Amino acid sequence: MNIPLPPGAGDAEFRAAFEEVEAYVEARRPQLILLQCGADSLAGDPLTHLAYTEAAHAHAATRLRALADRHCAGRLLAMGGGGYDRDNLARAWTRVVEALT
């Protein structure tokens, strides 16, 4: 699976690419899902050139939670990750936690 996203890609591009991710996970029927919640893809991060909002992170967490419920008896481990803008980190991780509760 190769989902290249161009510099400046935002939430719409993320959601379109994430459909392929979901199909991949669905086909493999995992026993556990690991979600690495790096926030360096959010707009304004000095490291990357992507322009997601925290809504993209919430979308991924929501969809992966549904997949975990369907295939893994709810086993999903979410881990914090990169991100170099503290406001982005707070917003993204808050939305992920909300989506998983």
Q: Is residue 21 part of a domain?
A: yes
What per-residue confidence (pLDDT) applies to 48? Answer: 86
- Per-residue model confidence (pLDDT) at position 4: 84
HEC assignment per residue over the chain: CCCCCCCCCCHHHHHHHHHHHHHHHHHHCCCCEEEEECCCCECCCCCCCCCECHHHHHHHHHHHHHHHHHHCCCCEEEEECCCCCHHHHHHHHHHHHHHHC
pLDDT at residue 91, rounded to an integer: 94
Domain assignment of residue 2, yes or no: no
Domain residue limits at 89:
11-100
Residue 5 lies in a domain: no
Q: What is the pLDDT along the chain (101 residues), one digit of tens a residue?
A: 677 899 999 999 999 999 999 999 999 999 999 999 999 999 999 988 999 999 999 999 999 999 999 999 999 999 988 899 999 999 999 999 999 99
Total tally of structural domains belonging to the chain = 1
| pLDDT score of 1 | 65
